[in-house]
Amino acid sequence: MKNSKIRNCAFGLAMLLGSGLASASVAITTNKVANPQHYPADEWQEVTAAAVNLDQTKIDHLFDLSFEDSATQGVAFFKNGLLVSERYAEGYDKNSHGTSWSMAKSFYAALIGISIDRGEIESLDDTVAKYLDYFNDERRDITIRQILNMTSGLEMPSHEHEEMFFSRDHLAYAKEVGVEQKAGQVFEYNNVNSMLLADILFEVTGVPADELLAERILNKIGLTDVVLWQDSAGNPLTYCCIDSTVRQYSRFGLLFARNGNWNGEQIIASDYIDETFTRVWDSLNSATINQNRGYSLHWWVSSHDERAVIFNASGKFGQYIFVDRSNDVVFTRITKYHSTGGSKQEWGVLKYVNWLGSIDFRISLAAFLDYLGLIKLQGNEGGSGDIKTPATFEDGTSTEFFDNYNTIIDALIEAGKS
């Protein structure tokens, strides 16, 4: 496998906020669970670790490691479709939303598998040009598989397409990105790849990708306490930005842990899940995470050896849904989030300065205007800010979790052992 520099994903506005920590573990059922597989109804069934043959002290150790990083908002551990334990920072609880950042990529990529199963897309190896006529240029040979594996060869400027996040129309931006190198050769984490899924899915179904996601996946698995962000032009943001709770995100993890089946309904073909959880790239170096990771079809590889095979949906600032299929384990961790309200990105007065200078300059300018009281970046929970956009502030930006990533994965493997 090839080495490559990982490109950072998604984007957040950074500001200094206070943080606190409190914990609460829940476990109410003490009898052994007879049925090895469960699915949550409106709520998750809660059990003790002992009821599913696990060691609570190992789960506590995993949680302790997670909360060494003050950015952690909440974590939860699930075994056999049952909630074994959860913990939240002070001021947050099971109903508190986080934002996904690039975990959303894994959600929207699942729709490609469903479209293949329905015959709307013939194959992962179809060229994108078969569905998007504007790819009939130097991009004509790029395949859907290469888009999903981040090997499209599309241009990657120094700002890593964070310009797109500030634009009014993210899809229009993505459509104009040309070729930098031959497809299939180099892993390059490029948000444009994922934003193009919005257009591919619309072309083959006639339904916007966010509506499609709700109809074909989220509503079926009870993931309904959710915000699916759009840009100012009304395009679904398929490269980032789904707001939900720890418990709700974990339903998506369970769907993949169960090979695409939800309580008897095959929502995503098991073959597509198998292909997703096949390591394509490995030894991918990272500037933030202390581990050489792998990648496949918009999922990251956390572990792929004799100890465990664990894949994860991942967001830039430390949001994760970890899935261990063989042990039927899901572990979810999100970082602190302060909603600016809404579900459609609106920049307010910032739209007049979003084109000025570098990305760092725009962040500093926005923070300065907020400090002066000329704009209000951070709304209350439910939103009262002048600016409507997903935003991760200083208190939700991970450091220690990334530094301790290897140790955390080791702890996760141990916690999942019966």
Q: Of 116, 198, 405, 151, whose CA–CA distance to 297 is shortest?
A: 151
For 266, the enclosing helix (H) or strand (E) is strand 265-266
19-34 confidence digits (pLDDT tens):
333 434 334 443 454 4
Neighbours of 250 (CB within 10 A): 27
Q: Which two tokens stand for residue 60?
A: 């506590």
pLDDT at residue 236 in the model: 98
Contact of 91 with 20, CB cutoff 8 Å? yes
How many angstroms separate the CA atoms of 69 and 387, rounded?
28
Is residue 413 left, alpha or beta, with left meaning phi > 0 and alpha meaning psi from -120 to 50?
Answer: alpha
CB atoms within 10 A of CB 22: 12
C-alpha distances in Å from residue 261, one per residue of 8, 38, 193, 224: 32, 12, 27, 18
**187, 151 Cβ separation under 8 angstroms:** yes
User: Rounded to an integer, what is the distance from CA 199 to the centroid of its chain?
Assistant: 19
| Tokens 């009014």 sit on residue | 168
- pTM summary value: 0.89
Supply angle C-alpha 329, 77, 323, rounded to 5. Answer: 35
Structural tokens at position 273: 């899940």
Torsion angle defined by CA atoms of residues 352, 385, 161 and 409, in that order, rounded to the nearest 10 degrees: 170
DSSP-derived secondary structure letter, 310: E
pLDDT in tens, the chain (418 residues): 444 333 334 344 443 333 333 434 334 443 454 457 899 999 999 999 999 999 999 999 999 999 999 999 999 999 999 999 999 999 999 999 999 999 999 999 999 999 999 999 999 999 999 999 999 999 999 999 999 999 999 999 887 888 899 899 999 999 999 999 999 888 899 999 999 999 999 999 999 999 999 999 999 999 999 999 999 999 999 999 999 999 999 999 999 999 999 999 999 999 999 999 998 866 565 555 555 678 999 999 999 999 999 999 999 999 999 999 999 999 999 999 999 888 999 988 777 777 777 666 776 777 777 778 777 765 544 444 578 999 888 899 999 999 999 999 999 999 999 8
Q: 3-class SS at 76?
A: strand
